[in-house]
């Protein structure tokens, strides 16, 4: 089942005692100028039954993150340019072509 998705804010601040990231528990997130916005969405399970989800972040405000989330929710809308660029620049894990060393 595909979820509607969620918006949340987090930062990279660390706990002074443990050194672990505070993420969404940082007290600085109460202000407007701290942290960045993220989106999360659950997708239907893969054919083998494994869980699939999308998590993207680094958006400057809730409006920018919300626009990306809306474009993911509504089928038929053009893909968000940032996600499309990421998809184009990532090499495919499976290739039909033999490696360069095997070509003659």
pLDDT in tens, 22-74: 988 999 999 888 999 999 998 888 889 899 898 999 999 999 999 999 888 87
Q: At what angle do helices 62-73 and 81-89 cross, to 10 degrees?
A: 70
- The pLDDT value recorded for residue 31 is 87
pLDDT at 14 over 90: yes
User: 93 pLDDT band (50/70/90 cuts)?
Assistant: very low
Q: Which helix (H) or strand (E) holds 64?
A: helix 62-73
pTM of the predicted protein model: 0.64
């Amino acid at each position: 089942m595909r979820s509607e998705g969620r918006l949340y804010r987090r930062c990279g601040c660390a706990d002074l005692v443990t050194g672990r990231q505070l993420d969404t528990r940082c007290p600085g997130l109460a202000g407007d100028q701290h942290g960045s916005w993220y989106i999360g969405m659950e997708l239907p399970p893969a054919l083998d039954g494994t869980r699939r989800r999308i998590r993207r972040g680094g958006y400057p405000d809730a409006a920018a993150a919300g626009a990306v989330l809306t474009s993911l929710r509504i089928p038929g809308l053009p893909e968000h340019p940032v996600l499309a660029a990421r998809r184009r620049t990532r090499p495919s894990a499976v290739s039909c072509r033999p490696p360069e060393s095997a070509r003659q």
